[in-house]
Amino acid sequence: MNAKLNDDEINALQSLDPDNNSGGVDFHDGALPQRLFAFNLVTRQPSGATSLTKSGERALFLHDCMTGLAALSRGEAPDLASGVERWLRSGGFIDGGSGKRALAITPRGRLWL
């Protein structure tokens, strides 16, 4: 997917994520942006329920990674999910976080932004 998702589309994806506990906006099927279906980020099950596809899960994961990196670049201490932190650390985008060292964005992480 090459198109950038807007805030409404990200919120809609987050509302469908069973792991999301943010209590954000709850989108009903009629309010879901149609681009989410066009980009194959959500699908309608035979039962009529709407759910995230693997691509939708990846888009949310990428959004979480980018949000975390952006916060670190601003000097903030983001609350990263363990999978996001593990992936960013193993990819060389962040370092630190052990003992007294705080998480820090690496030069590679800055390039990714």
Query: Would you say 103 and 63 are in contact if contact means Cβ atoms under 8 Å apart?
Result: no
In this predicted model, what pLDDT tens digit does every residue of 26-68 receive, in sequence order? Answer: 555 556 788 898 999 999 889 888 889 999 999 999 999 999 9
Query: Would you say 1 and 59 are in contact if contact means Cβ atoms under 8 Å apart?
Result: yes
Higher pLDDT, 94 or 15: 94
With residue 107 as reference, give the H or E element that holds it.
helix 107-112
| pTM assigned to the model | 0.82
Please tell me what DSSP assigns to residue 95: E
Burial, 63: exposed, middle or buried (Cβ in 10 Å; 0-12, 13-18, 19+)?
A: middle
